[in-house]
Structure formats: structure tokens, C-alpha cells
């Protein structure tokens, strides 16, 4: 228990605050700053009565060395150690102590390993090094410049464990390396790794780099292979995604073979960096989606066959990426840079208390993310951590894209710099995220939300306007959208099917619009449908229509795994800890709805085959498209360029006759179509219908 007579905090390079319990306060005392062989009298500039405490604001005229221990002492000889306060959130602190080199963490060589860790306010830093026989040794790190402590330990340390002991704000704490790249189970120690010995990724997917050529499919490593009815050898593991010739009970493709047949270009994996909420030594005892960041450079251990073997974690993840690449599937990594799981034990917070998070006027962490902390990504060393981590995944693991969780809580300067750095590594990397505008303060002016779309033109946004208009309200499950029978927003439908970029309706380019009606968050489309109807056949027709609109609209199509065969989570709206039974990808539904899967395959192939679905600019959309709403509520889209396609989206099960130019014939129809001659078609049911100029039916 803290029994100091008063508490003192350094707020700037010449300012500090003293907090005195009112029972200890005397009005006639002087206060002095003592340390580094100096005694400096403090000038009290303001006294504030807080009721149970007195707050004194003080100035001083002296240079202060943040790496030294200082005390504040009064004329009664009461003394208290000076802790780091608001100084770490000043612009001057950020400018003085930003470190630009890319060598934080460990740098391994057989002759010896270099260690570097950033903490401008630490009074000392010790390295705890544990050899392969579990013998410990401790080494003092030396402070140099820019807040960086360093040590060089001779000898081949491959496979040694390490962590740090850091003295900050009056106590010594155990700290994992925020730049640690390998770990044992549950993040107890980091490991020194010789990455030249790890699995070598040799395959790269054949992708143009144009986001409009992407067809993104989201899944979880665990959910994809957890279904007990399928004989995956490595259930819930990285290696499960590498297994070929996996079949359903009746011999249909499952697993990796299914992804290949479906035709997607990008597999978006829910978090695969080290996260909390799972005991990595007993992962089946808990379930978690993984949006609980712990170690940003370390692969999640619960997806490995041996969480205590750092090489197994690294190699198995690399093998998974390489196998997907071999089958021409790019890998998108879902990253969470807006908050951390444990704000008190996050390594950066231990190293520099008060630096990592946004705070309100009272110095309390903001909670816009809903996770009791919001990372202050605009601070230089948080920005550096985010960029360095992303570059590491792009270079070492050959990750092909990044999806940013709650991207609207990340500043757009960070996102722009990050995108440029990633494209320098690999110009084909795609970047997109959740661009919700979540701040109500002036912080919103610098955040990477959809309102900032003009200043982050190379980054995509999940288009919630598309979702809400086509599917219906996410947060009112009984409220329908266009595909579920609500025709009132037909003018909005016309815009979102053109990538929300026609006349710059929402975006400058259609590539900024990630179109979707379902993802891991909230209810699946099928479950929402059950709130509106007990007619499951109707729900399936509506869902196929909505999915077809995702695939055939301008912009970037995004599918949630199982969406194509009507995935359900038993009406669970937020299944982040709901267990395998709710979250598993149920491959029996793939069998039951094989015809629907085949239809989606055809739609994906059509999108790939016809460039008219990849119009980028507002001028192209204006010149090459015509969108007409029919009296029935159906929507007709004509692409009048070299593709010469005509599409009809029909949301209502009512009879209507469509006159199609004679040179067009039916390319694909969701439901049966009757035609009395070459130009008159009778449409009776909900569905999507494609006509191609000059083709045979």
C-alpha cells in the first residue's frame, strides 16, 4: 500500500504536480526537487483544493534527466519519489525521444545477440536471459539516446528465453519485449529465434494488386476446421488450412479444396497474432475470436500444435500461408491496432506509463473502443510499433493484405504512412478497415474514418450503407432491406451497387467500397431472416440475392465464411466467446445447400471474367453504366462497354415481364425463367438474372 506523505508527477520538462492528502497539508512549507546532485526550489504557481487532497502546481528552472531518480522534498523533510506524469504526452517528449531505426527487439547472429528496448523514463533495465537448461542470468542494459536501452550478449543464443526487469515509477516490473517475435505459451517469455532456420515461404499468389480484382472471404483459423463431422487431422490449427482431399460425409469438397473451388482470391483470417482470452496450454477449455491483442509480432499459440515451441508456432503459420499461396489464395491478416486487451500489463504502458492511450481531461483512459482503452496511434512510438509490426508480417510471413479493426480509431497519418510502407514492400498488398466515425470530439478530424476518405485514397472501407440498405438494419433485426423486401430506399440501392462512387456519392473511387451484408460481427444474414420470417425457403432466396449483389456490384466484394450456404449461429448476435458449437463452420450446411454454393461459384467466375464489374472512377461509372428501377421494384443495370451485360436484381416474388433486346440471351438466373420468344422473359420469383449480348442461353 502506498503510504507516501504526498504524491508528485512530472507533467512537463519544467512543471510538476504535487498531490497532498489534506491531513498532511501545511500552508507554509517549501518544496524542492532533489536528484542528479542538485537541489532545486520549486515555485508553486497554483493551489487547488480537491476536498480530500490539495493539488499544487509547480514550476522549476533546471534540466531534468528522465533516466535519473528524483524526489520532491519539503522543509519538514517529507520526501516522495517523482513519478512520470503528463510529460509523456507532450509534443516535446515525442520529438526528443522518438527512435527511427528498425532494430528494436532482438537482432540475432551466431556470434551474439543485440537487445534494444525503448523506455525514456526507466531508471534501469535488466535483461533476464534463460538458457536451454533453464539457467538464468541477468544483464544490465546501457542507456544511449532516444529513449533506447541496449545490450550485446556474446554467444549463440538461439532458443534462449528472455524478458526484462524495468524500474519505472517507483517499482521494478517484469516486462515482455513489445517487439518480441516469438513466445512460449501464454506469453510468459519471449524467445530468441534464428529466422533463417524457419520455414521458407516459396509461393506467391498471382494477384494483380487492384483491389477490384479481389474477392475476400473471411474466416477464423479455429472455426474453419472445428466441425466434428469432418476429418481434419489438425482441427482448429494453422495446419488444418493446409489439408487437401478433405470431404464432407457425402463426398463434397471441404477445407482448402472447397476454397479453391469457390474461387475466392483472398482469405481474411480473424486475428492470428498472439491474443488473450485463451489458455494456450488448454485451448479447448475456452473460446475467443482473438480481438484481445497481447503480442503484436508473435503468432497465436492456440492455433499451433505446440504453443510452448516458438519454432512450431512460426513454422506452422508459415506453412499455412505458403499452402494458400500455392493454391493462388492471398492471405489477409485482421489486425487490432485500436486497443489492447490488458491496458495495465501492455508492455508499452509498463515501459512508459501514460504514453500509450488517449485520455480525457481528467487523465482517465477513454473508452471509445469499448475495451477500456484506445491506443494513441498518433504518438510517434505507437505509430512506429504499428508500422514495424505490419511490415514484419508482410516481409517475414508474406502477408498479402491487412484488415484494420475499428480503423476509425487510428489516425489517418499513421494509416497513410503504413500503406505507403507496405506498398513499398509489396505493391500488391491491399489495405481496408472499419471506417466508423466513433469520436464526437475534435479527435475525429484526424481519424481514418469514412469522413476522411479524401485524404486516405488507397485504403478501403467496410460500406455499412451497402449492408444496411441491402440486408436491412443490423441493430433492429426485424427491419428489412432491399433484398428482404423493403423497396423504399431504391435510390440508395442504385448508388451502392455502383460502388458508392457514382458522382462521388460516398467515395472518390469504387475501390474504397468494401461491399458486404455479413461478417463475423452481429447476426448472420440467415439468422436476421429468421426474425422477419419463418419461411426458410424465402430467406434463402433473399440471401442468395443479397450475396449476388455483393459479388456483382462495383467495389470490393466481401463474403463471410458460410454465407454462401446460409450459416447460422443460432441467433447469437455476438458470439465472440460462445464456443465451437455456435461458431464452427458447419460443413453439413455445405452439403444441404450444394446448389446454392454452385450458384455462388458461377457468380464469382462471372465477376472474374468480366471487367465491367471493376470500374474505378466516377467518370467511368457515369459513362459505362445505366441503372434503372422498374415499377415492380426490380433493378436493372446495363453495362454498355465491351462486356455488354445486363443484370436484373428482383427482390419481390411477383410476376413481371421483362423485354430484353433480341441480341441478349440469358447467361445465368437464380430462379427459373420462362421466355415466349427471344426477347420477352417472365420473371416470377426473387432472384438475380444476367443477360449477355451475343451469347447462347
User: By the 8 A CB rule, do 221 and 230 touch?
Assistant: no
Instruction: List C-alpha distances in Å: 168 to 83, 490, 558.
Output: 8, 60, 46
Tally of residues, the chain? 697
Q: Which residues does 623 contact at the CB level (< 8 Å), separation at least 6? A: none
Candidates 243, 322, 405, 495; catalytic one: 405
Strands (E) located in 329-369: 330-335
**Whole-angstrom Cα distance, residue 59 to residue 62?**
10
Instruction: List C-alpha distances in Å: 115 to 101, 112, 150, 192, 198.
Output: 13, 10, 5, 10, 21
Candidates 274, 434, 518, 564; catalytic one: 434
Catalytic residue list contains 223:
no
Which residues are 639's β-sheet partners? 625, 645
User: Which of helix, strand or coil describes residue 437?
Assistant: coil
User: Which of helix, strand or coil describes residue 189?
Assistant: coil
> At CA 631, angle to CA 626 and CA 634, rounded to 5?
60
Q: Report the candidate in 303, 345, 289 with the shortest Cα–Cα distance to residue 185.
A: 303
**Whole-angstrom Cα distance, residue 310 to residue 315?**
9
Strands (E) located in 169-257: 171-175, 190-191, 216-219
Q: How many DSSP H helices and E strands does the chain contain?
A: 15, 35
Catalytic residue list contains 534:
no
Residues 657-679, buried b or exposed e (16+ Cβ, 10 A)? ebebeeebbbbbbbbebeeeeee
Which residues are 72's β-sheet partners? 33, 80
**Whole-angstrom Cα distance, residue 558 to residue 20?**
57
Q: Is 628 exposed, middle or buried (0-12, 13-18, 19+ CB in 10 A)?
A: exposed
Give the full edge-to-edge strand order of the sheet including 656-659.
656-659, 680-683, 674-675
Q: Which residues does 186 contact at the CB level (< 8 Å), separation at least 6? A: 279, 280, 281, 301, 307
User: By the 8 A CB rule, do 66 and 168 touch?
Assistant: no
Residue 680: all three cell numbers together: 420477352
Q: Kindly report the backbone phi and psi dihedral angles of residue 229, in degrees, each rounded to the nearest multiple of 5, phi listed first.
A: -80, -10
Residues 45-74, buried b or exposed e (16+ Cβ, 10 A)? eeeeeeeebbebbbebeeebebbeebebbb
User: By the 8 A CB rule, do 114 and 148 touch?
Assistant: no
**Whole-angstrom Cα distance, residue 657 to residue 172?**
78
Give the residue numbers marked as catalytic: 405, 434
Amino acid at each position: 500500500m502506498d503510504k507516501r506523505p504526498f504524491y508528485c508527477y512530472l507533467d512537463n520538462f519544467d512543471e510538476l504536480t504535487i498531490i497532498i492528502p489534506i491531513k498532511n497539508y501545511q500552508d507554509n512549507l517549501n518544496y524542492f526537487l532533489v536528484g542528479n546532485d542538485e537541489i532545486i526550489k520549486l515555485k508553486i504557481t497554483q493551489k487547488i483544493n480537491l476536498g480530500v487532497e490539495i493539488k499544487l502546481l509547480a514550476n522549476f528552472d533546471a534540466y531534468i534527466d528522465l533516466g535519473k531518480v528524483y524526489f520532491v522534498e519539503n522543509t519538514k523533510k517529507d520526501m516522495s519519489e517523482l513519478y512520470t506524469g503528463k510529460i509523456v504526452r507532450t509534443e516535446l517528449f515525442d520529438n526528443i525521444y522518438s527512435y527511427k531505426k528498425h532494430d528494436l527487439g532482438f537482432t540475432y547472429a551466431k556470434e551474439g545477440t543485440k537487445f534494444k528496448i525503448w523506455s525514456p523514463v526507466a531508471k534501469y533495465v535488466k535483461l533476464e536471459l534463460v538458457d536451454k537448461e533453464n539457467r538464468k542470468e541477468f544483464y544490465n542494459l546501457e542507456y544511449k539516446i532516444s529513449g533506447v536501452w541496449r545490450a550485446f550478449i556474446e554467444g549463440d543464443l538461439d532458443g534462449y528465453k528472455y524478458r526484462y526487469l524495468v524500474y519505472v515509477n517507483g517499482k521494478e516490473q517484469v516486462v515482455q519485449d513489445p517487439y518480441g517475435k516469438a513466445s512460449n505459451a501464454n506469453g510468459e517469455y519471449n524467445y530468441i529465434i534464428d529466422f533463417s532456420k524457419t520455414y521458407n515461404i516459396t509461393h506467391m499468389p498471382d494477384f494483380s494488386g487492384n483491389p477490384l480484382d479481389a474477392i475476400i472471404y473471411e474466416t477464423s483459423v479455429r472455426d474453419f476446421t472445428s466441425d466434428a463431422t469432418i476429418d481434419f487431422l489438425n482441427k482448429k490449427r494453422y495446419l488444418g488450412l493446409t489439408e487437401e482431399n478433405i470431404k464432407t460425409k457425402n463426398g463434397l469438397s471441404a477445407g482448402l479444396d472447397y476454397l479453391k473451388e469457390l474461387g475466392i482470391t483472398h482469405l481474411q483470417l480473424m486475428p492470428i497474432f498472439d491474443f488473450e482470452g485463451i489458455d494456450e496450454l488448454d485451448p479447448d477449455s475456452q473460446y475467443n475470436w482473438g480481438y484481445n491483442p497481447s503480442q503484436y509480432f508473435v503468432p497465436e499459440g492456440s492455433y499451433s500444435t505446440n504453443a510452448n515451441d516458438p519454432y512450431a508456432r512460426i513454422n506452422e503459420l508459415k506453412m499455412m500461408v505458403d499452402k494458400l499461396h500455392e493454391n493462388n489464395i492471398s492471405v489477409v491478416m485482421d489486425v487490432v491496432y485500436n486497443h489492447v486487451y490488458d491496458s495495465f500489463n501492455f508492455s508499452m504502458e509498463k515501459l512508459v506509463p501514460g504514453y500509450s492511450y488517449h485520455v480525457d481531461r481528467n487523465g482517465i483512459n477513454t473508452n471509445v473502443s469499448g475495451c477500456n482503452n484506445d491506443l494513441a496511434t498518433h504518438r510517434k512510438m505507437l505509430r512506429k510499433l504499428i508500422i514495424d509490426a505490419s511490415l514484419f508480417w508482410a516481409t517475414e510471413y508474406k502477408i498479402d493484405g491487412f484488415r484494420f479493426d475499428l480503423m476509425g480509431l487510428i489516425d489517418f497519418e499513421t494509416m497513410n504512412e503504413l500503406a505507403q510502407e507496405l506498398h513499398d514492400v509489396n505493391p500488391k498488398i491491399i489495405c481496408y478497415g472499419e471506417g466508423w466515425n466513433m469520436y464526437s470530439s475534435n479527435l475525429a478530424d484526424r481519424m481514418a474514418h469514412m469522413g476522411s476518405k479524401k485524404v486516405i485514397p488507397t485504403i478501403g472501407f467496410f460500406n455499412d450503407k451497402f449492408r444496411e440498405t441491402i440486408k436491412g438494419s443490423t441493430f433492429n433485426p426485424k427491419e428489412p432491406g432491399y433484398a428482404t423486401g423493403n423497396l423504399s430506399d431504391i435510390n440508395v440501392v442504385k448508388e451502392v451497387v455502383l460502388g458508392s462512387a457514382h458522382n462521388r456519392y460516398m467515395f472518390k473511387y469504387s475501390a474504397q467500397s468494401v461491399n458486404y451484408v455479413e461478417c463475423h460481427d452481429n447476426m448472420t444474414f440467415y439468422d436476421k431472416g429468421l426474425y422477419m420470417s419463418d419461411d426458410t425457403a424465402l430467406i434463402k432466396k433473399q440471401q442468395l440475392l443479397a450475396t449476388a449483389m455483393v459479388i456483382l456490384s462495383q467495389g470490393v466484394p466481401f463474403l463471410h465464411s458460410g454465407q454462401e450456404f446460409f450459416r447460422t449461429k443460432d441467433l447469437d448476435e455476438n458470439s465472440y466467446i460462445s464456443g465451437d458449437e455456435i461458431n464452427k463452420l458447419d460443413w453439413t450446411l455445405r452439403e444441404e445447400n450444394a446448389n446454392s454454393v454452385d450458384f455462388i461459384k458461377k457468380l464469382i467466375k462471372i465477376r472474374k471474367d468480366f471487367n465491367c464489374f471493376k470500374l474505378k472512377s466516377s467518370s467511368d461509372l457515369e459513362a459505362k453504366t445505366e441503372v434503372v428501377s422498374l415499377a415492380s421494384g426490380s433493378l436493372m443495370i446495363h453495362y454498355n462497354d465491351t462486356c455488354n451485360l445486363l443484370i436484373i436484381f428482383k427482390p419481390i416474388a411477383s410476376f413481371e415481364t421483362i423485354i430484353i433486346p433480341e441480341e441478349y440471351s440469358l447467361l445465368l438466373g437464380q430462379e427459373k425463367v420462362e421466355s415466349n420468344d427471344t426477347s420477352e422473359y417472365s420473371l416470377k420469383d426473387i432472384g438475380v438474372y444476367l443477360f449477355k449480348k451475343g451469347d447462347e442461353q
